[in-house]
Chains A and B, each alone.
Chain A
């Protein structure tokens, strides 16, 4: 299958300090890739490169002409006192497929309602963003990511704020979405990731690709990936283990 997105031998960093090096990543339609890694390992940097927010210092990025990215950022950089409504936030997602002077159409407005009821927030359409909880805000941002009908959804730590009741819904929703579109999910919480994704990769300076969603401590050790691991068995269970590395 031709890739939607392909990174080849990417290096990137800030102020001459290299955070990523030799990263290769290929995302095909219907992929569900989970990216794990320690804090400071370069997860966010990798996303910035993919999203054109950071110019790589080395390597090439190939994007398929039909690639349409929907992006759910982490909520913590948002000014919650900004006077803006839920509807306006969601509608802003349309710019990834609309020219910047285009006004929202009827279709967009219907889509806003659909998405809001999809995430269980129908009654919040005209609420101010500052009136929402962290979890609700994240759901609104998920709607914003989806309004332009992306074929690749990128989620940055989606389980940071989402409340437990919605978490299960979110995963169901992602599984549903994954039938049609590719998903790239970044998380420090491996538990979430391994239960959902089809392939998993660890970012820690470089990117180590693992062609299944099963991680063992041996694999992590060989990747130098200092993170808790989960394993699957016949009976659902979780094995959490911290392993030292230097």
Chain B
């Protein structure tokens, strides 16, 4: 039996990641400076302003899903102030699913340094207010996401083995590009992902979720075998063994190299 983190109504996390969430591209750099001053996760993106139509609700919802993910301990929203996705509104919305949410607005915080300083203080306060709550976890509390971007791979046997071991399983095959499938799996609340990237795509990661990369037989994967945790010649049992270790806290290769970006789904051009 392994231990995880009880993250209130979001469920059990196998990681305890504080998320510094920039609500707009204009605040991504300030968010990064805040995250660098802590042991927190952030990501660069190009959304939050100049978006229209379905993208407004889509991006807003995507950010909400990120904040509601079980691996997230607390969230600091960093906004600019004049953007389409308003951080105080986003912050209020996130509070419904994640009590440990605060927000910080650059235009109201006295500049870059002011925002970085008060952002770091707010994030530290969140850590103090919502300390780690370690609990024993069972396999049926874990959703394993499978990114099957590689059409050559049949994951039936692996899926059966995971289910037999008690895990919940979500499989996404929507795209041949893992970054898009990771976003889907995040929304499905997968706490850990087993990725079979397309043979023309490299091993990659998702900042909030440990990703186990499994290499195919193509030349790119063969040449970059060191970036993969396992290969498709490994048995389902070997995958399950590594999975158990990762759930228990062992870092995947993607976590070690902090490789991978988060990509939000978009429909329409920016205006």
Are A and B subunits of one complex? no
Which of A's residues lie within 8 Å of B, judged by CB?
none
